[in-house]
Amino acid sequence: MNYGMIPQSVIDEVLRRHEISETVGKFVHLTKNGKYLKGLCPFHSEKTPSFTVTPEKQIFHCYGCGKGGNVIKFIMEMEGESFPEAVKALAEDAGIPVTWTTASADEPSAFQKEKKVLHEAHDYSAKLYHYLLRNTEVAKPALDYLLSRGFNDALIEQFGIGYAPARWDTLTQALERKGYALAEMEAGGLLSRRQESDGYVDRFRDRIIFPIHDSNGQIIAFAGRMLSDGQPKYLNSPETVLFNKSRTLYRLHEARPAIRRARQVVLFEGYVDVIKAWFAGVHNGVATMGTALTGEHAAMLKRFADEVILCYDGDDAGQAAAHKSIPLLEEAGFRVRVSVLPNRMDPDEYISSYGQEPFVREFIEGAVSAVKFQLIYLRKSHILLEEDGRIRYLRDAVRIVARRDSPTERELLLKELANEFGVSLDTLKQESLEFRQQEKLGNTGDIPAGSWNNVWNEKRTTSKNPPLGAANVNAERQLLSWMMQDKETAVLVQQKLGDRFYVEDHAALAAYLYAYYAQNNDPDVGRFVAVLQDDRLERTASAIALIDIPYGERELEDLVRTINDAYLTREIEQLTEEGIRAERAGDYSRAIQVGTEIIALKKQRK
C-alpha cells in the first residue's frame, strides 16, 4: 500500500524514527500522567488539559475537540500539510532520503492547484502594491505618512510595504489581465463581491499594505492600514485555504532564527510595532493577526523559545490582553515577562518619541516578571488609599504569590509586600500557606485531579473517555480496541461477526483491520492509523485505542454475543416491519417468506 508514490517502507520508517511524545513535545508542553502524557490541546482553546499522548501506542487524542492520530497526522494538523507533505517533512527531519516521486508532483490535487494559484496571485498583488507605493503620485500621501512615522526606504523595501489606491478596481483589473479567475481571487481573500450588482471589487482600498507570510516565507494574506478616518483602521485578509489567523504570526518566518538563538520571543500587538522594534535591533519580535493569543500560537512558538516577553500597548486594553495571555503561556511551559509602557503608549510611539536604545533597555531587557506584572495590574482594581482597599489588595496579592512554584520566589515577593505595607512577613507566609493548602484540596474551585475535559467548567462531570452509547456500541469499541492490539482477536472477530457492527465507522475500522492483518502486518496502532487516510476514522481509531480494559476470553465471547444479538434484533425488527407492509399490500407470498426468515433469526439469537 502506498500514497502517491511514497513507499510503505518509508512511511513505516518515518513512524519508527519519530517518537510521538518528542515530536508533539516541540509544540505542546506535556506532563506525565501515568502511562499517558497530557497537555493543552494546540487545536482548540482550553484551560484544562484534554489532549493526551500515548507513547505506548504512538498516538495522540484530544477529548475536547476529538482530533487524533499518529505522528504524521499530528504534523498534518499542526502545519496544515497534506499526507505526502507531512511524510516528506518528517523524512527529511529524520535524515531519510526523499527519493520517491509524489503524486502531487506529477498530478497535483485540486486543493494543491488552488493553493498554488493563490500563492502566485498573492505574490503578484504584493509586488503591484509595493510598486504603486514607490512609483506613483497617487501613493504620495501614503509614502509621506510612512516617512513621518520613522519608516525609511530600507524598512519599506525589507518589509515589502505597499499601497492600495482608493479606486475600486485597481487590483481587480490587474488580476483579470493576468488571467486569474476573479471568483477564485474572492475566495482567496484578495477581492470582495459587489453588494448591489454582479462582479468584484478590490478588498483593500486607500490603505497602506503589509504582506503577511507563512512559516515558509510565502505571502498568504495582507493587512491594510487606512489612511483616511474610515473604519476599520486595520483590515486583515479573511481566513482562506492559505490563511488561518490562529496559526499565523506576523514575521515569524524572518524572526525564527533570532528566536531560536535567544530561545526568546517578543510578542507585539501590531505590525508597525514589530517593524519599528526590528529597526531597533529586536529581531525576535512577532505579532498576532489582530486576534487574541491562542493555544495554537503558543504551541508554534514553543518549538523555538522558552521565554516570552509580552510587549503590548500601554493602554488598558493592551495591559488587559497581556494579563489574559500570561496563564495561557505559562500553561504552555514558557517563562513570561511583561513590558509595562508608560502613558498608554504603544511600542511604535515610544520608539518614535524616546529612541531605540531606551526602548530596548527599559522594555525588552527590563521587562518585569509575570507575577510582578500581575501585582501591578491588580492595583488598578483596588483603592490603596483606603484601609479596606489595602487589605483586599494584600489578600489577592498573596493569593497570586502563593500560586508560584518556587519557594524562593514566594519568599522574596512576600518580603516586598510586607515591607511596602508594613505587615509581618510571617503573617503573609501563613496566609500564603493556607491558600496553597486550600487549592491543593480543591476548595477554591480547582479542577479535580483526573478530570481533563473543559466540560468541568460547565459544572458537568466527565471521565477520561467520552460518554459511550448503548451496550452494543460499548462492546464494538472494546472489541476494536483489542483487535488493534492482537491479530488473533481480529481474525476471531472476523469469523464470528464479519461486518455486523452497528456503528458505520466501527464497521469501516473492522474492515480496515481485517485487510491490515491479511497483509501480514503486526499489531501497531500508529502504523494502522496511517493506513486509514480518513480524518474521521483516524479520530475514532485514536479514541478507541485509548480504551484500557484487560483482555479476557470470556469477556470477548460476551462482547461478540452482545453485538450479534443487537444485530439480529435489528434485523428482526426490520423484517417485522417489512412483513407488515407486505400484508397490507396483499403480497402474502412475501409476508410468508419474511416470517420464515424471522423464525430463523430468532433461532440464531437463542
The residue ranges of DSSP E strands in 214-273, in sequence order, are: 219-226, 234-236, 264-268
Q: Which three cell numbers stand for residue 73?
A: 497526522
- Tell me which residue of 22, 33, 14, 20 sits closest to 70, measured CA to CA: 20
Q: Which three cell numbers stand for residue 112?
A: 494543491
Say if 313 falls within a structural domain. Answer: yes
At 255 the three-state DSSP class reads helix
Say if 161 falls within a structural domain. Answer: yes
Instruction: Please report the pLDDT score of residue 3 as a whole number.
Output: 45
Q: Is the dihedral of CA 133, 137, 142, 147 positive or negative?
A: positive
Three-class HEC string of 386-407: CHHHHHHHHHHHHHHHHCCCCH
CATH of the domain at 294: 3.40.1360.10
Residue in this structure with the C-alpha cell 507585539, named with its chain if needed: 268
Contact yes or no for 20/532 (Cβ under 8 A): no
Q: Which three cell numbers stand for residue 426?
A: 510571617
d(CA 175, CA 191): 10
Q: Are residues 199 and 268 in the same domain?
A: no
Q: Are residues 230 and 303 in the same domain?
A: no
Contact yes or no for 24/53 (Cβ under 8 A): yes
Q: Are residues 549 and 492 in the same domain?
A: yes
End residue of a domain, out of 427, 442, 457? 442
Say if 532 falls within a structural domain. Answer: yes
Q: From the first residue on, what is the mean pLDDT of each consecutive set of 10 residues in the chain (606 residues)? A: 66 90 87 85 79 89 86 84 84 82 56 88 97 95 92 92 95 96 95 88 95 90 86 88 89 88 92 93 92 85 89 91 91 91 91 93 93 89 83 89 87 90 88 81 33 31 39 87 90 87 86 87 87 84 87 85 82 81 80 78 70
Q: Are residues 198 and 266 in the same domain?
A: no
CATH of the domain at 146: 3.90.980.10
Contact yes or no for 67/43 (Cβ under 8 A): yes
Q: Are residues 89 and 215 in the same domain?
A: no
Say if 366 falls within a structural domain. Answer: no
d(CA 494, CA 492): 5
Residue in this structure with the C-alpha cell 517518537, named with its chain if needed: 19
Q: Are residues 476 and 568 in the same domain?
A: yes
Helix (H) or strand (E) holding 208: strand 207-213
Helix (H) or strand (E) holding 211: strand 207-213
A 10 A CB-CB count for 38 gives 21
At 62 the three-state DSSP class reads strand
Q: 201-240 b/e with 16+ CB inside 10 Å = b?
A: bbbbbbbbbbbbbbeeebbbbbbbbbbeeeeeebbbbeeb
CATH of the domain at 384: 1.20.50
Q: Could you tell me the residue range of the domain that residue 191 belongs to?
A: 110-236
End residue of a domain, out of 67, 94, 121? 94
End residue of a domain, out of 357, 389, 420? 357
Amino acid letter, residue 506 = H
d(CA 284, CA 259): 5
How far is CA 366 from its chain centroid?
A: 31
Say if 3 falls within a structural domain. Answer: no
Q: Are residues 204 and 77 in the same domain?
A: no
Q: Are residues 577 and 538 in the same domain?
A: yes
d(CA 445, CA 326): 20
Q: Are residues 133 and 81 in the same domain?
A: no
A 10 A CB-CB count for 381 gives 10
Instruction: Please report the pLDDT score of residue 606 as a whole number.
Output: 62
Q: Are residues 67 and 140 in the same domain?
A: no
What Rg do the C-alpha atoms of the chain give, in angstroms? 30
Instruction: Please report the pLDDT score of residue 440 as a whole number.
Output: 60
At 50 the three-state DSSP class reads coil
DSSP letter for each residue of 265-296: EEEESSHHHHHHHHHTT-TTEEE-SSS---HH
Instruction: Please report the pLDDT score of residue 459 as a whole number.
Output: 29
At 209 the three-state DSSP class reads strand
How far is CA 518 from its chain centroid?
A: 36
Alpha helices by DSSP H, listed for 362-503, are 370-379, 387-402, 407-421, 425-441, 471-485, 487-496
DSSP letter for each residue of 537-595: HHHHHHHHHT------HHHHHHHHHHHHHHHHHHHHHHHHHHHHHHHHTT-HHHHHHHH
Q: Are residues 257 and 325 in the same domain?
A: yes
Burial class (CB in 10 A: 0-12, 13-18, 19+), 334: buried
- Tell me which residue of 130, 45, 18 sits closest to 331, measured CA to CA: 45
pTM: 0.60
CATH of the domain at 22: 3.90.580.10
- Please list the helix, strand and coil fractions of the chain in percent, rounded to the nearest 5, in that order: 55, 10, 35
Say if 534 falls within a structural domain. Answer: yes
Q: Are residues 208 and 316 in the same domain?
A: no
Say if 66 falls within a structural domain. Answer: yes
- Tell me which residue of 199, 203, 220, 198 sits closest to 211, measured CA to CA: 220
How many structural domains are present in the chain?
5
d(CA 579, CA 586): 10
Instruction: Please report the pLDDT score of residue 257 as a whole number.
Output: 84
Instruction: Please report the pLDDT score of residue 420 as a whole number.
Output: 87
Say if 460 falls within a structural domain. Answer: no
